[in-house]
Amino acid sequence: DSTVDRTSGGNSKDRKMAAATLKKLLEFVAPEKMSLAAACLAMSITSLSNLAFPKLIGKLIDQMNATKCQPNKRFVLMTLAVLTMGALGSWVRTYFFNLASFSVSRRLRTKLYRSIMAQEMGFFDENRSSDLAALLSEDVQVTASAVTGNLAKLYRYLNSSVGGTAMLLSISPRLTVVSLSIAPVMGMSAMLYGLHARRLAK
């Protein structure tokens, strides 16, 4: 029982530390909300163009099969406009996410440098200058990229799932409902398999 209590107490402490670290990282990301908002808007445009392109190709094939002729110029221009919109959205998304990442890393690096310079001389005897330089250059950039990258992935997955579901509903509502009804079963199976694999690993 004491072992279980220590384990649960350690897990609770780890969760609190992880939550505190996440809160501090989000505080560094908060000043970049305008850049992140622009990047998310551009990502929405890119996702919309990616979802619209297969439907346009389907209409193109249907039109060519029905009329036995080449597609009209209006349809071709519409397809080119969708592709151009997706390309521009992808460029804007990459630009603003990188801008936010570099800004976050700059603030992290500045705060870390001030913290290092405020340490006593014994701190520099215990820590090598090469390790501190690597911490300032590489680790800070990796942390900033991880924070902004995870936010980008979260929004991308959410955007794709909502947009894909809406597109499927517009094509076949009945098939969409059947597909969504299978998702909880697959998720529960994956969760049970993960728990079983974790027990085997212990």
CB of 165 within 8 A of CB of 177? no
Q: For 42-52, how does the pLDDT look when each residue is reduced to its tens digit (9 = 90+)?
A: 888 888 888 88
Please answer whether residues 152 and 97 qualify as being in contact, where contact means their C-beta atoms are separated by less than 8 angstroms: yes
pLDDT > 70? residue 7: no
Residue pair 163/51 in contact (Cβ under 8 Å)? The answer is yes
Least Cα distance to 85 among 148, 41, 36, 20 occurs for: 41
State the pLDDT at residue 147. 78
Sign of torsion over alpha carbons 178, 184, 185, 186? positive
DSSP letter for 70, please. Answer: P
Reported for 5-13, long-range contacts at CB under 8 A and 24+ positions apart, including other chains, are none
Backbone angles phi, psi at 50, to 5 degrees: -65, -35
Q: Average model confidence (pLDDT) for the chain?
A: 78
In DSSP notation, 116-175 reads HHTS-HHHHHHS-HHHHHHIIIIIHHHHHHHHHHHHHHHHHHHHHHHHHHHHHHHH-HHH
Q: How confident is the model at residue 201 (pLDDT cuts 50, 70, 90)?
A: confident
pLDDT of 2 above 50: no
pLDDT digits (tens, 9 = 90+) for 142-185: 877 777 887 888 888 888 788 878 877 877 788 778 877 887 78
If you average pLDDT over residues 88-98, what whole number do you get? 89
**Whole-prediction pTM value?**
0.68
Q: What share of the chain is helix, strand, coil (3-state, %, to 5)?
A: 95, 0, 5
- Assign 71 a pLDDT band (cuts: 50, 70, 90): low
pLDDT tens-digit readout, 106-146:
888 888 888 888 878 877 778 787 777 777 777 777 877 77
CA 15, 20, 23, 24 dihedral sign is negative
67 — pLDDT class (breaks 50, 70, 90): low
**Residue 10 above 60 pLDDT?**
no
Range 183-186 contact pairs with CB under 8 angstroms and sequence separation of 24 or more: none
Per the CB < 8 A criterion, the answer to whether 82 and 53 are in contact is yes
